[in-house]
Structure 1
């Protein structure tokens, strides 16, 4: 799908203000409300936006520990990667999982209620491929810059 300037503006606004009314969005991008809603629906149908999520302030809700984990597999086979990916996906506390290049194979972000639960998850991930998984854990002390959306204007130029 080709994105013109108006569609890129819609995407930029929606990723920061998902609850904006269609009327306000239309006003800000210079479209009629019906044209704006039509564009948003086309962006959704094309899979460019959605699902819609809310950012919650977890420390105000409960105690938790956030751990960034780098994972290296000794077995570099496709089957080993798929097995580990399935194990990571099976834990709801693994809130992000990336396969990456470089000195390790996976990057995980795990949010657990406490270190005891984190250690259980850690042990379960190690047991997926016994003796073949190396985990390096990094407890998050402070989030300096949380994810708040992609810098679309910096990533896209008129040729995208």
Structure 2
């Protein structure tokens, strides 16, 4: 799908304010409400936006521990990666999992109610491929910058 400046503006606005009304969005990007809604629907159909998520403030709800874990697999086969990824996807507390290049194979973010539960998750992941998995855990102490969306304008500038 070819994106023009208006489509890019729509994406930028929705990324930061997913609950904005169509009227407000149309005003911000300089379109009529019906044209704006049509463009948003096309962007959704092309799977360029969505699903829409609400960001939950965990600290205000209850205590939790966030762990960034790096994973190395001794067996570098496609089957070993598939098996480990399926196991990670099945654990709700594994909120992110990335296959990466470099000195380890996967990068995961795990949010658990406490260290006892994190330890159980760690053991569960180690047992996926016994003796073949090395997990290095890093407990998040403070997050000075949360994810708040992609730098779309900077990425578009670099793309052109």
TM-score range, shorter chain: over 0.9
Counterpart check, 1:64 vs 2:64: yes
How many residues align? The count is 160
Q: How does 1:2-151 map to 2 (within 5 A)?
A: 2-151=2-151
Structure 1: tracts of 5 or more residues without a match: none
Separation (CA, whole Å) in 1 of partners of 2:28 and 2:71: 44
Please identify runs of 4+ aligned residues in structure 1 that moved more than 4 A.
Answer: none
Structure 1 residue 158: Cα displacement: 9.0
Separation (CA, whole Å) in 2 of partners of 1:93 and 1:46: 29
User: Are residues 115 and 158 of structure 1, via their aligned partners in 2, closer, same or farther at CA, if it must alter by over 3 Å?
Assistant: closer
Structure 2: tracts of 5 or more residues without a match: none
Q: Secondary structure at 2:35's aligned position in 1?
A: helix
Deviation readout 1:66-116 (Å, 9 max, x if unpaired): 000000000000000000000100100000000000000000000000000
- TM-score calculated relative to the size of structure 1: 0.98
- TM-score calculated relative to the size of structure 2: 0.98
Deviation readout 1:35-94 (Å, 9 max, x if unpaired): 000000000000000000000100000110000000000000000000000010010000
